[in-house]
Amino acid sequence: MADLFAPWGFWSGLACAVEAAPPPFATLDAVLLDLPTLELRGRSADRGRKDVPVLIVAPFALHDAAIADFADGFSLAAVLEQAGPVALTRWKSATLEMKLLTIDSYLAELNVAVDELGGRAALVGLCQGGWLAAVYAARFPRKVAALVVAGAPIDLAAAPSQIVENVATTPAFWLHAYLSVFGGLAPGEHRRMHWTRESLDTTAREALQREPTPALQAAFDRWNGFTLALPGAFFAQATEWLFRENRLARGCFSALGRICDLRAIEAPIFLLMAAGDIVIPPPQTLALRELCPRAKVSARVAPGVHLSLFMGADMLAGPWREIADELAGLLQPPRSRARPARPVVAVSRSRSARSHAPGAL
């Protein structure tokens, strides 16, 4: 991360202030709630349903939440419909008026979203949304029916990574100097230039686990080209509290006026990791198994890279479908556990689903 603060980086970043148009969603066609930090998206056909919902807590780091509802046949949201009505947090790119928003600001509005959905939900946290979902589940355990965490930084001491190394070698005052240059924001396009090699080099084929058609390639390029600005206060807290001080794993993470204790989570936990993930190595996520002794935890490691965890065809057809089936058993009464009439993942399944998820820990 140190090169993030090189003089050329400051000014090249300033030239990247104009963001591209946000990517579309494949199935989540309705805005259920519009809050300052997020749009709560869902399906218009699900309005009025009384089932316990599945809420995807999307990443809030670099790219848009459409990663979870990317395209027909490559939509995690569509797969999770097996378990119940699906909603998603589409985090908004920060403006200068949002520069002082903190982690508590986002937890508070996530809490409003859960209340909007009925006050209790199964949370599916993806990458940076995974640690936020885990913090929420520890802060409000009665509101979480189940917790799914995929490729999320939980215990940063569990395995080395480039992000942790970069943070460790970057003085804290450089971080605050960087944010001051951008008016208190961490602009997405600038951060993208200094992201890890995997994220820069991952092709659509690796992310989708299929050879993309021209239309899919264009959709991937559009999604990959749209980045989010983060509030400086949020970005600084996440960098310092998680990646430098490892507060969540150490049991000293403050959340809405209380110390967040992961041992408070009693809901079933499902962990999903990619064997080739160098952004968030699997042990950093797997640590939740030891940090949540009251919860029943199941874990899967599947072939893939970081992005394929959330949009890969094999991931969706294998381990994600298995997780959706298990969630359905938890969230739905037996008489209502019927598969949707329409297929949720239109991909070739010449191999068995078991072959897609070889590691059950």
pLDDT, tens only, 57-103: 999 998 999 999 999 999 999 999 999 999 999 999 999 999 999 99
Q: Which domain holds residue 200?
A: 2-360
Q: Which residues contact residue 18 at a Cβ distance below 8 angstroms, ignoring those fewer than 6 apart?
A: none
* pLDDT over threshold 80, residue 207: yes
pLDDT band at residue 18 under the 50/70/90 scheme: very low
Distance from C-alpha of 243 to C-alpha of 90, rounded to nearest angstrom: 23
What are the C-alpha distances in Å from 287 to residues 82, 131, 216, 235, 252?
28, 12, 35, 23, 16
pLDDT at 333: 72
- Average pLDDT of the segment spanning 242-248: 97
* pLDDT over threshold 60, residue 293: yes
* pLDDT over threshold 80, residue 354: no
pTM as predicted: 0.87
Structural domain count of the chain: 1
User: Under a CB-based contact definition with an 8 Å cutoff, are residues 173 and 239 in contact?
Assistant: no
Please indicate whether residue 183 or residue 341 has the higher confidence score (pLDDT): 183
- Classify 127 as helix, strand or coil: coil
* pLDDT over threshold 60, residue 336: no
* CATH of residue 106: 3.40.50.1820
Query: Residue 274's beta-bridge partner residues?
Result: 302
Cα-based angle 144, 164, 284 (whole degrees, multiple of 5): 40
* pLDDT over threshold 60, residue 31: yes
What are the C-alpha distances in Å from 190 to residues 98, 144, 182, 229?
18, 35, 10, 9
Which residue from 91, 141, 139, 132 is spatially nearest to 237, judged by alpha carbons? 132
pLDDT band at residue 238 under the 50/70/90 scheme: very high
Cα-based angle 71, 72, 78 (whole degrees, multiple of 5): 95
What are the start-end ranges of the E strands in 171-296?
185-186, 230-231, 253-255, 258-260, 269-274
Q: Which residues contact residue 64 at a Cβ distance below 8 angstroms, ignoring those fewer than 6 apart?
A: 22, 23, 90, 223, 226, 228
- Classify 31 as helix, strand or coil: strand
Burial 128-161 (b: 16+ CB within 10 A, else e): bbbbbbbbbbbbbbebbbbbbbbbbbbbbebeeb
pLDDT band at residue 190 under the 50/70/90 scheme: low
The token pair at 75 is: 């939509």
Handedness of CA 13, 16, 17, 19 (dihedral sign): negative
Distance from C-alpha of 30 to C-alpha of 87, rounded to nearest angstrom: 9
Cα-based angle 267, 294, 120 (whole degrees, multiple of 5): 20
Lowest mean pLDDT among 142-151, 167-176, 189-198, 264-273: 189-198
- Classify 228 as helix, strand or coil: coil
pLDDT at 164: 93
